[in-house]
Chain A
């Protein structure tokens, strides 16, 4: 793989990663959002695989395959099972911020990410670090999705996006964190999604739905 193809492939994967995040902001169908999340997981998994092919090392490729299994298959399936069977559960209810404003805010966040990552790029001018702003933007977008959505499942998707993007950041700037940390982090995320899924089903029993606006019992 030549340097140019390598850079191009990295850019394309990072771009696809960002694009899925933008589409998640755009779409309101919960099932579509979960499918997009799976694509995002795939784009994330491609990053270490490209790295491995370019460096001719097997380890990153193995990591990539594991990431692919976890984030593009297992976690989306866990989430998809949590999507309600009732009709009213399949769509995001009117979000707190309408779609147009959300998209414009996303645009602003992308620019912000570009500004924030400058010191990191200044320290290391490799092609991987250059693709960082795209991934960093997803971190900000994920936080935005979490605060602006009202369905429990959308918040869980936001959390997973956040986690995807932080993992992608780790791949891009440090070629992945040490194995023990990666293992711990993946386990935690798996359990967290599991917990959120279970809580969603408990909430459906207790509240008759997963609209987070109903969470108004506790206040001062």
Chain B
């Protein structure tokens, strides 16, 4: 069964076997792979029946149109409409090809057994929105652009390991890796390919036409943008996959979640996207006529992250006591209206690598007090515990203006006080909060929602490897400054392993170690409330992608 469950570089699974058999009909595989597209195998066919208009609303404004430049989640909403990656994750965490003719695996010869040599076949006959043919040169250019010293690249992890990118033909290219790196495929799945020709003769690679009028190979062509309000797209009649089925797609920017919900209710908005329906509206939304409302899980988990360099958190007993003093159930049920699911780990529950047997959290003030008493943390005259000159007092920070989180923070402050711990709330506007304060671990503790995964790949070295802490001299996102030799060892082993069953064991062990160690106090895995009109088909949850439009090519109105 496991063979069938996950895309696997060592053993071909059923879908990849299909792909290999139908290698000549690479395009056919594309039609099969889209989860909503089964039986609509009309790839390469100009889509004559694209019809209707759909308004998708986001509460933030997509503004960065070059997908290889630094961007935020909401910008990806536009990328899936305009651009294509080589391949992508479906909701089950399996890869399906988009611009690639097939997903490279060890089995199909796309990746060498040691993971060092990659060979990629592309679809033939794909064109850019301006009519220029898409070739392997575009792919090579895009991959190299990410490490171009002149270019403001959104990341270099993985890409900098690629060497000798060679174009073999218009539809074939190969490269070598300087070391085996299992997450590479997941990184490629969120790498959108940009057209090389728009960079020809451009003095500054950061300032091309892509910034204002993006050109891609995707299902929709960029039509126009009304800044601060909406972006309009029209169907790409020459799309190389099935779809699109909509004549016009409009991404609307509605900065206020209440207004967004009101407009969804009144029918001005067809699909409610990023930041979604607020939990307090769930009960009402579910009763709306002609609307489909769904609670779906996200890969992001909420936690209280501790700065492990602070003496207050050095004692495991303190971390355990703090965890016990959080009334998780009340936070989830009352403040978040029961929408998110409690979790004990950073790994999403939908993931193949999720460890189901982690010990369950228990809210118990008495036990927490007893634990601290036993560990020698005695209450001072002010009611705050201390030991060896260290007072159990610290600050907690998060983005100012995130109301639900601020409410949870204040509630936790109250239950912490019941075990003789003083938590001061010290929130900042986003630009300050996530600047050096976060990156260089200048906080005592934070309340943060993190997605530590790249797509469906379980590697989280960036966040938990001891060498990845900027505050300890490393470069990465280990801002909790977490150090655990066992975790380091498991992460190194996991990143060099290409066998899912073996990796599963490694990452399950790692989750168990971290649940015991508590460098962060896990609260819940995010779930969001999506909604669309009942005549809209296509929107589908996908925990492996950051944004709703991952399959916008399949969206239609009936």
Do A and B pair up? The answer is no
